[in-house]
């Protein structure tokens, strides 16, 4: 599985903040100590704050080592681990080649290292389970430039190589409205693809939230919860221009509650398959 630079950046910032806090130093005091050790490097409280809050793209490993000296980290293995994390945090992935349509690629980046993805979708099929024809139809509804449409579809198909026996567990809850918005000419293939994806990959589960459920707590819209083997889970809210990553345990707790509740209200996996089979037969 590919290493996620975004996840490494989040991890390193969190670790540096914990080291400083554990040492009892303020950001000002840490900056003064770092400046005394490495006067050839620019140091300030603002710089350390940026390092602790992910407000950087590339981090000099010398700066990381200096802070480890300031915080009293002497273990060679531990220091090597921090350097490795800093190096991986500055790398790039395949999505950089699609920066024109993916922007920073932060979500796609995180997606590559998740071991479980839970999502509720209100109006459309999630990208990891879209057919090429459906992806093109969805993109064409928002984008008029033909080249950009094809670039977006190509990037979406690239993302799907993530799935498989070594990929993440993917649990999707689809509102019934998502099926009604699938264009008639691509609906049979798209629904069949959802069925086939579950049959070919035990890691994939799709459940339908029917209209008969009535009101439910996730009516405000789509959300994704990404779970990682060794890092805190992350919530992602997609928007038309960019996405939001609500931070903090309160946000995670809120969206996990929403997911659990709509999961309980959704049809079972087998009943959801029957729902989709009926759509294809019709």
Percent share of the chain, pLDDT over 90: 73
* Averaged pLDDT for residues 90-111: 83
The answer on pLDDT for 209 being more than 60 is: yes
CA nearest 128: which of 187, 177, 188, 201?
Answer: 201
Mean of pLDDT values over 73-99: 87
Q: Which residue has the higher pLDDT, 127 or 281?
A: 127
Q: Phi then psi for 44, rounded to 5 degrees?
A: -160, 165
Q: Which of 23-27, 143-147, 197-201 has the lowest mean pLDDT?
A: 197-201
List alpha helices for 24-102, DSSP H: 27-37, 45-52, 61-70, 76-89, 99-102
Please give the pLDDT value at position 2: 56
Residue extents of the structural domains in the chain:
5-89, 113-127+160-281
The number of C-alpha atoms within 13 Å of 117 and in the hemisphere containing its C-beta is 26
Is-above-0.85 flag for pTM?
no
Higher pLDDT, 22 or 165: 22
Q: How far apart are CA 97 and CA 207, in angstroms?
A: 33
Please give the CATH number for the structural domain made up of 5-89.
Answer: 1.10.260.40
> DSSP states of 149-183 as a string?
HHHHHHHHHHHGGG-STTS-EEEEEEEHHHHHTS-
Q: Report the candidate in 269, 277, 274 with the shortest Cα–Cα distance to residue 171.
A: 269
Average pLDDT of the chain is: 92
Q: What are the residues whose beta carbons fall under 8 Å from the beta carbon of 108, sequence distance 6 or more? A: 93, 95, 102, 155, 159
Ordered alpha helix ranges (H), the chain: 5-23, 27-37, 45-52, 61-70, 76-89, 99-102, 106-111, 132-140, 146-159, 176-180, 187-200, 249-265, 269-281
Cβ distance 115 to 167 under 8 Å? no
- At residue 281, the pLDDT reads 83
User: With b meaning 16 or more CB within 10 Å and e meaning fewer, what string describes 67-99?
Assistant: bbebbebeeeeeeeebeebbebbbeeeebeebe
The closest alpha carbon to 174, from 202, 143, 197, 157, belongs to 197
Q: Residue 54: its pLDDT value, please?
A: 85
Which residues neighbour 259 within 8 Å (Cβ) at sequence distance 6 or greater? 118, 120, 173, 218, 223, 225
Provide the pLDDT for residue 1.
Answer: 45
Least confident of 14-23, 83-92, 130-139, 144-153: 83-92
pLDDT at 92: 76
pLDDT at 55 over 90: no
* pLDDT value, residue 37: 94
Same fold, 5-89 and 113-127+160-281: no
Instruction: Note the pLDDT of residue 211.
Output: 96
CA–CA dist 122, 174 (Å, integer): 6
Closest to 191 measured CA to CA, from 206, 170, 210, 169: 206
Q: What is the DSSP letter of 127?
A: G
SS3 at position 98? helix
State in words which class domain 113-127+160-281 has.
alpha beta
CA 62, 4, 98: angle at the middle one, nearest 5?
A: 110
240 or 32, which is more confident?
Answer: 32
pLDDT at 133 over 90: yes
Task: Say whether pLDDT at 240 is over 80.
Answer: no
């Amino acid at each position: 599985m590919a290493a996620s630079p975004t996840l490494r950046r989040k991890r390193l910032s969190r670790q540096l903040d914990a080291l400083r806090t554990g040492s009892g130093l303020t950001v000002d005091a840490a900056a003064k100590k770092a400046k005394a050790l490495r006067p050839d490097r620019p140091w300030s409280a603002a710089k350390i704050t940026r390092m602790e809050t992910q407000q950087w793209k590339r981090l000099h490993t010398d700066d990381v080592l200096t802070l480890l000296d300031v915080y009293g980290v002497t273990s060679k293995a531990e220091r090597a681990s921090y350097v490795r994390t800093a190096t991986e945090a500055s790398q790039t992935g395949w999505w950089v080649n699609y920066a024109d349509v993916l922007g920073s690629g932060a979500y796609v980046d995180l997606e590559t290292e998740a071991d479980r993805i839970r999502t509720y979708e209100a109006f459309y099929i999630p990208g990891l389970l879209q057919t090429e024809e459906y992806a093109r139809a969805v993109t064409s509804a928002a984008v008029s430039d033909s080249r950009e449409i094809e670039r977006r579809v190509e990037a979406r198909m690239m993302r799907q190589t993530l799935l498989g026996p070594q990929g993440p567990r993917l649990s999707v809850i689809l509102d019934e409205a998502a099926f009604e918005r699938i264009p008639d000419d691509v609906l049979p293939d798209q629904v069949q693809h959802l069925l086939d994806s579950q049959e070919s990959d035990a890691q994939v589960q799709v459940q339908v939230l029917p209209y008969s459920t009535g009101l439910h707590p996730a009516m405000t819209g789509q959300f994704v919860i990404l779970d990682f083997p060794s890092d805190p889970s992350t919530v992602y809210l997609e928007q038309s221009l960019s996405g939001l990553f609500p931070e903090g345990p309160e946000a995670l707790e809120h969206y996990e509650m929403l997911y659990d509740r709509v999961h309980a209200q959704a049809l079972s996996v087998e009943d959801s398959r029957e729902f989709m089979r009926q759509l294809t037969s019709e």
